[in-house]
Amino acid sequence: MPYENLEISTRSPVLSWANHPLKSDELQMAKNVASLPFVFKHVALMPDVHLGKGALVGSVIATKEAIIPAAVGVDIGCFVGDTLIPVVDGKSYPIKELADRSEEFIVYACSSTGRIVAAKATAKLTRKNAALVKVILDNGEEIICTPDHQFMLRDGSYEEAQNLQPETSLMPFYSKVDKDGYTLIAQPYSGKWQKAHWIIARSGLLGKVNKFEGQRTVIHHRNFNESDNRPENLEFIGDGDHSAYHRKLVERNQHWQSPAFEEKRVAALAKKAQTPEGYQYYAERGTKNILQYMQQQPEHFKQAVADNGIRGKQYLLAYNQSEKGKAKSKEIANRYYTCDICGTEVKTPIGLHNHRRKEHQCNHKIVAVLPLNCTEDVYCLTVPEYHNFALKAGVFVHNCGMCAIKTSFKGEQLEGKLKKIRLDIEAAIPTGFNENKDVEKSVTNWQRWGDFKDLHRGVQDLQGKAMRQLGSLGGGNHFIEVCLDTENFVWLMLHSGSRNIGNNLAQCHIHTAKELAKMAGNNLPDPDLAHFVAGTPEFQAYWHDLQWSQDYARVNRDVMMARFKRIVEKHLAGGKAIKPLLEVNCHHNYAEKEVHFGEDVYVTRKGAVRAQEEDYGIIPGSMGAKSYIVKGKGNAHSFCSCSHGAGRLLSRNKAKNTYTLDDLIEQTKGVECRKDTGVLDEIPGAYKPIEQVMANQSDLVEVEATLKQVLCVKG
C-alpha cells in the first residue's frame, strides 16, 4: 500500500504505512519528533508502529547534524565495485564481480587471536548512490568505501573509516608467491610466513588431516597450479607417495628428470634445510637413518666412527686458523639479510628479527582519510564465522552479520525431536536475567574487552557481568526459533541484542543528553528527545560506545547461533557440521550515517529494518505466527526501511490482564515452546496480525521466503 501523509500541524510531515489511525498518545509522540528542528524531510512510520520511549517503535527518523540516543547500534558500511578481494584460488577479484556471481567463494579472514584463516563468503550489492571516503595507507594503497565501514585495528578492535586517524595501526594482510609458485601469507600474531594451502587445511576446509604410516603428510595440488588453493584442488597425501606420483609423470614431462630440475631440487632442499622446520625435518630423518644403520651394520659403524674426535679436531683447528676460515667467519658476522616486508638490508638474523618487530610489527598505518564529492553503488561480503575479510590493499575490514540461516535439513527430520532440541537450547543458552555459569574461551578471547576501560564511566563496574552475559538471550521479545519454509526446509533464527551492558550504556548517555538539554534551556516536547550535536565531545563519546555495543551484540548473537546450530546438528545429523544454504542478517534499533535525497543524514531506525534495494531482512511474527525473509525495494520515502516485526497491539501488562494460560496454549498449538504464565505477555494475540503488517508494506519489501515456527524459546 502507499503511505498516508498524516494531517497534523508539525514542522516536518509524518508519513505512515500503518493503515490505521494512530491513538492520541501515539499521535502526540509522532508530533513531538516531527517538531524537532533538525529532523530531515519527514518522519516515516512503519506498519508495526506503536508506543515507545521518546519516539514510536517502528519510526524512522532522519536528522541533520544531531542524533537522539534512543537506539543502540550501528550498521555496516561497504566498498565500491572495483575494490579487489583476494580469493584462495590465487587471484583477486573486484567485489562487484563476486556479487554478480551469486555463489559462495573462500576468502582470508582474521580470527579473534590474530591468526589468518580461510573462510567461506558471499558478496552482494548493499547500497546505491552511497557517500564515500578515500582511505590512504602507508603502503601506497587507496581504499574507497562508505564513511561508516569498520576497519580492523592492530589490536583486533574496529573503527569506522571516517574516524581513522593518521598513524592508526591496522591489522595487516601480507601475501606473496615464492619461487616455487606457492602462495605465502604472513601471520600477524607471529610475523612468520605460512603456506596458504596449509591455512586452508587448518581452517577445517579439507576435513580431518590424514596421517600416512611412515610418511609425512603433504598437500597435493591436483591441477599442478601451486597458487590455486581451492579446497577441491587440494588433497592430503604422504610425502613418499607424493614423490612416487611425480616420478610416474616423467614420461609425460621430461622436466622432472632434467639437469635443470635436479639442480633446482637440490637447491630447494638446501634452502629448506636452513629453515627451522627444514632443519628439524632433516635432523629427524638423519637420526632415523643413522640409528637404522647402527642397528643393521654395528661393526661397520664402530669402525667408521673410530677416532672421529681426534681426526676432526685437527681439521677444524687448521680451517679456523687458515685465511679461508677467517674470511668465512668474518663473512658470516657481516652477512646482510633482506626484510621480506620492506626490502631493507639488515645485518645478522638477530638484527633482521629486531628490525621486523620495531619497524613493522606486521602492520599497516593510516596516512589520511579524505571525503569524496561523489556517490557510487557499494558492495560488501558476508563471512558468517569471522565477520571480517582481507582486501587486496592489505588490511582486514568488517562484514555484515548473521541472525538467521536456512539449512539443508527437511521438516520430517524434526519429528519426535523438537522437545529434546528445545530443552538442549534452554540448557545451553541462558534466558531472561540468567547468565552463563562458565565463560567459554571464544568469549574471553574477544579483542574488544581491552576497550572496556574507554566506555562511559557509569558501566566500569559491569565488565564481569557483561562477560558472563555474552552468549545469552535475555527476555522480552527476544527469541530463538526453529522454522519451516513453504518448501519444508528448516531455518534457524534468533533475535537478541547487547543485553544489560548495552541498556546501561544507553541510559548513561540519555542521562547526559537530558542534563545538557537542561543546561542549555532547551524546551523539548519530551525529555526523552534530548539529543547530541555532531562535532561535540558528547556526540563522539556516544558514537564510540554505540560502536562497542553493536560489536558486543553481534558477538552475542554469534556465540548463541554457534551453540544453537551445534544442538540442531547433534539431533539431525549426528553432530556433523552442515553448510547453510542462505544466511541473512538485519539490525533494528540503530543509527547510521546515510545519504538520502542527496544529503548526508543520520538515520535512526527505532524498531525498523533497513530495506535498501537488494537488502535481505527478517520480519518475524509473534510466537506461533508466520515470519518472513524479505528483500528491500529501496523506497526513498521510507528512508529505505521496513518494519522489524508485527508490532505490539497490547502492552505487556494489558496482555497479561486480557489473556489466560488456556489462551496461550490454544494460540501456540503446534509450536514446541514454554506454555506458562511467565511468557503470557508474548502471546500472539498481543501483537498485530503479521499478514496485515506485510500487506501494508508491499511497496517497501518483497517476500523471499515465508516461515512458520515449530519451536520457540523465550526468555
Catalytic residues: 644
d(CA 500, CA 465): 8
Three state DSSP letters for 297-324 = CHHHHHHHHCCHHHHHHHHHHHHHHCHH
Which residue bears the cell 540442531? 568
Would you give the DSSP letter of residue 454? G
Q: In one letter, which amino acid is 483? A: C
Pair 379, 125: CB distance under 8 Å:
yes
Would you give the DSSP letter of residue 676? S
Alpha carbon 393 to its chain centroid, in Å, reads 19
Pair 551, 400: CB distance under 8 Å:
no
Pair 55, 61: CB distance under 8 Å:
yes
φ, ψ (nearest 5 deg) of residue 141: -75, 150
d(CA 27, CA 113): 50
d(CA 373, CA 622): 44
C-alpha cell at 516: 545538557
Pair 511, 547: CB distance under 8 Å:
no
d(CA 31, CA 13): 9
d(CA 342, CA 528): 54
Which residue bears the cell 524531510? 41
d(CA 658, CA 291): 86
d(CA 145, CA 369): 10
d(CA 106, CA 666): 47
d(CA 429, CA 425): 6
Most distant pair of Cα atoms in the chain: their distance: 109
Tell me the sheet residues that pair with 479: 495, 714
Would you give the DSSP letter of residue 109? E
d(CA 552, CA 448): 8
d(CA 593, CA 596): 10
Q: In one letter, which amino acid is 181? A: G
d(CA 495, CA 505): 20
d(CA 554, CA 470): 10
